[in-house]
Amino acid sequence: MTSYAGTAGRTATMTRQSAKSYEASGINRKRLFSIIAVALLAIFVLIGLQAYTATLQHANNVLAEENAMLQAEIDSMDSQIVEETKVTKIEKTARQKYGMVYPTSDNCITIHEDEDMGDNLAATIRKEAYN
């Protein structure tokens, strides 16, 4: 009987150790599953961030192209402004389109400081122009 009781005691001890091992392996499995889940989640987040980065880079490239085209247009308009505002161009347009000419000595009125201008400058100029 002793041997039976001893065997039963050893079996009970082994069963308790097996249960502990099983519980420990269950905990290890849960921990392993959690680690794998976190790793997969991290991979998906990294893939998502990479896709978002690619989208932003594409948008930046499109904007850079648009900026380059706008800068070329601005440069073209600047050169047109310089060309159109040259004095020779303005003089040519004034002569051809509006019939303007440079004044001669006959077209000029000289006002001297010692002369009395009267009540106002306009009246003095009118008097000089029509006399």
pLDDT band at 1 (very low <50, low <70, confident <90, very high): very low
Quick one: average pLDDT of 89-115? 80
What phi, psi does 117 have (nearest 5°)? -85, -5
pTM to 2 decimal places: 0.43
CA distance 73 to 67: 10
Q: For position 124, what pLDDT does the model report?
A: 74
Task: List the one residue out of 103, 100, 98, 115 whose CA is nearest residue 125.
Answer: 115
Q: For position 105, what pLDDT does the model report?
A: 77
Which residue has better confidence, 83 or 110? 83
- CB contact set of 89 (below 8 Å; sequence gap of 6+): 83
Q: For position 16, what pLDDT does the model report?
A: 61
